[in-house]
Structure 1
Amino acid sequence: MAERKGGVWVGGAVTWRGSVINASAEVLAATGDAEGKRVRLELNRQFQAGAVTITPRVAAQWQDKKFVDYYYGVRTSEVRAGRAAYAGDAATNVELGLRFGYAVAPRHTVFVDLSATGLGSAIKDSPLVDRSNQAGIKAGYLYSF
């Protein structure tokens, strides 16, 4: 396989905080060797009990044809036995997630974030992908300015 190079993603995001639910949208386009565009829409709700927060979320991320083809496509020069040529198409992934946070001190929070993502059919159909979903776990520390 030819090397897929990264690039710089540029774009913008907006967040709306409501009394019942929060919504956010993000639009990104790749520069450099990477190609494509991504749009992400997310709904979440934070529940707080003392120093503990729990934030469930649902999100959809659309990737255009160039993005899917660049990262999941197989060029004719990359064809091998068991790996057919593949030209990707636009795809939408759906994510469910849950973040647990704990404020260890004012402005200091540690968190664990769990997620499950269902991959769009144009990604699942790629010969480079052997599953229809992916799970994730992240842990981190936040300092609020």
Structure 2
Amino acid sequence: MPYKVLPLIACLFPLYAHAETATPRTWDVGLAVTANQSPFVDGDTVISARPVKLNNSGFDIPGITWSFSKAPQREFYVGAGLDEWDHERGDSQTLSDMRKLDRAVNVRVGGAWKLPSGVANVDVAQDVANAHKGTQAKLRYTHNPAPHQASVRPYVEAQWLSSKLTDYYVGVDAAEVKAGRPAYQAGSAVALKTGLTLRKALTPKLTLVGGVDATHYGSAITDSPLVERSTVWGTYAGMTYRW
């Protein structure tokens, strides 16, 4: 009997040794303060806070995600997040008589691929909170050369927004029509976003994070009587702690 157990022990020992020597998993999480310009008529800049989780694998995947398939040069993931759109219309007094909008919660699925000069990312999100029930897709390239650990990372992102999403935010129903605000039904739209992110380790556990961006919307959005800015900016700054 002992001789029959020996081969099993021999097979399990490398796994045990790997588990003992493997680097413990760490989490870099924190909080950031954000400021985003509203595209809506008379909309104020929106100041808020959001959680931050650093992806230290070099894949530059934004937001909160979980990887279900990972290799050295590619990663597939699922995640969740809120719409970037200002569902309160910047607290615009001009638009305060319109219907109130709910916050959309999205389920995301995507993939990221490491290139010699940076990272390419494809992300598709679907609203599951029954706010607008729309879909959005994003294609992003981040300049982050190998070994993909740059402190400053510029990026460019193309976005496609479904008609359900755009009409929810910038459409005008018949009941909301008044002088200077004609009815408007928005179709699917495209947008272009560019910006850069920053991460700087202050101590072995504390990391400073930040970023700035600008988003330019297509005509399906900017033709709406609710929108007065075709390009809006955003920024954030915060700190993460390694647990």
Q: Distance in 2 between matches of 1:13 and 1:85?
A: 36
Displacement, 1:89? 0.7
Partner of 1:17: 114
Q: Does the Cα contact within 8 Å between 2:144 and 2:150 map onto a contact in 1?
A: no
Q: State TM-score, norm by structure 2.
A: 0.55
For structure 2, the residue ranges without an aligned partner over 5 or more in a row are 1-97
Displacement, 1:85? 0.6
Q: What is the percent sequence identity of the aligned residues?
A: 34
Q: State TM-score, norm by structure 1.
A: 0.89
1:30-45 correspondence to structure 2 within 5 Å: 30-31=127-128, 32-45=130-143
Q: SS of the counterpart of 2:99?
A: coil
Rate the CA distance shift 1:47–1:110 in 2: closer, same or farther, 3 A. farther
Q: Does the Cα contact within 8 Å between 2:127 and 2:133 map onto a contact in 1?
A: yes
Q: Distance in 2 between matches of 1:130 and 1:71?
A: 13
**What do the CA deviations read for 1:91-142 (whole angstroms, capped 9, x no partner)?**
1110110122211123532122011111111111111100110011111223
Displacement, 1:47? 6.3
Partner of 2:226: 128
Aligned CA RMSD, in angstroms, stands at 2.0
Q: Distance in 2 between matches of 1:132 and 1:42?
A: 20
For structure 1, the residue ranges without an aligned partner over 5 or more in a row are none
Write 1 or 2 for the structure with the bigger share of helix.
Answer: 2
Q: How many residues align?
A: 143
Q: Distance in 2 between matches of 1:63 and 1:122?
A: 10
Q: Distance in 2 between matches of 1:16 and 1:73?
A: 36
Q: Which has the larger radius of gyration?
A: 2
